[in-house]
Amino acid sequence: MTENTFECDELDQMIARQYVNSPKATEEEVATAIKRPYATVQHRIEKLKGAAILGKRTDITNWAALGYPFRYRIDVHVDQEALRKAPYFGAPFGVEPEKGKEINNWHRLADYIMNDLVSFVGRSPKTVTQNKLKSSDLVVQNVTILLGQQADLSVTLRAKNPDAILSFVVDGLRAMMGVRMTSTAHEAWSYTDGEL
């Protein structure tokens, strides 16, 4: 990671907060909301983009239309001792990680959940639901390391159906040596979804 030499000030923070509150806002709308001249705000936004502090991205605004109507949050309790035990470390039982890619810390555990766990469950010959999980049945959106909470990691994902999440949790997460316990919640609504 390179060190960022851009010095953020109160105006930059005001612009950022406005984008958090109104991610679809135009530069003019941001300027109006924070009561600063448009030219000043426009110039500052360009500097923030140039310093890679602000970025342009495409968000999915209608997950249900894409076939993923279910959103879940899974809190994961890590088995710290298992992360140190060879040959599996924190990986699912029977999966021996390559040398140098051992799942032996929280960061690597999060990386495995984010990038490899869905395909692991998809390769399982038998699942708790009796249905084979396809990699297209789930989208893992994020894995977060938590501090000061009862859980150690939090996984957010989208699913096509409840069977997909059941298989991901039971046949995937709970099969991992580094996972001691999980707690799953169906997220009914989020502010980022818009109006109910």
**pLDDT tens digits along 7-57:** 899 999 999 999 988 888 999 999 999 999 999 999 999 999 999 999 987
Own/partner pairs, 48-51, CB within 8 angstroms, 24+ separation: 48/6, 48/12, 48/15, 48/16, 51/4, 51/6
Give the structural domain span for 24: 10-50
* Phi, psi of 48, deg, nearest 5: -65, -40
**Which of the two residues, 62 and 76, has the higher pLDDT score?**
76
Q: pLDDT class for 3, splitting at 50, 70, 90?
A: low
**Which of the two residues, 191 and 41, has the higher pLDDT score?**
41
**Do 129 and 173 fall into the same domain?**
yes
Q: Which of 1-10, 30-39, 76-85, 160-169 has the lowest mean pLDDT?
A: 1-10
pTM score, whole prediction? 0.82
Q: pLDDT class for 1, splitting at 50, 70, 90?
A: very low
**Do 29 and 92 fall into the same domain?**
no
Are the C-beta atoms of residues 139 and 161 closer than 8 Å to each other?
Answer: no
Per the structure, the count of domains in the chain is 2
* Phi, psi of 51, deg, nearest 5: -90, 5
**Do 85 and 40 fall into the same domain?**
no
Q: Which helix (H) or strand (E) holds 153?
A: strand 153-159
**Do 23 and 76 fall into the same domain?**
no
> Has residue 3 been placed in a domain?
no
Are the C-beta atoms of residues 173 and 113 closer than 8 Å to each other?
Answer: yes
Whether residue 37 is preceded by a cis peptide bond, meaning omega within 30 degrees of 0, is no
Tens of pLDDT, residues 105-159: 999 999 999 999 999 999 988 889 888 889 899 999 999 999 988 999 999 999 9
Are the C-beta atoms of residues 165 and 70 closer than 8 Å to each other?
Answer: yes
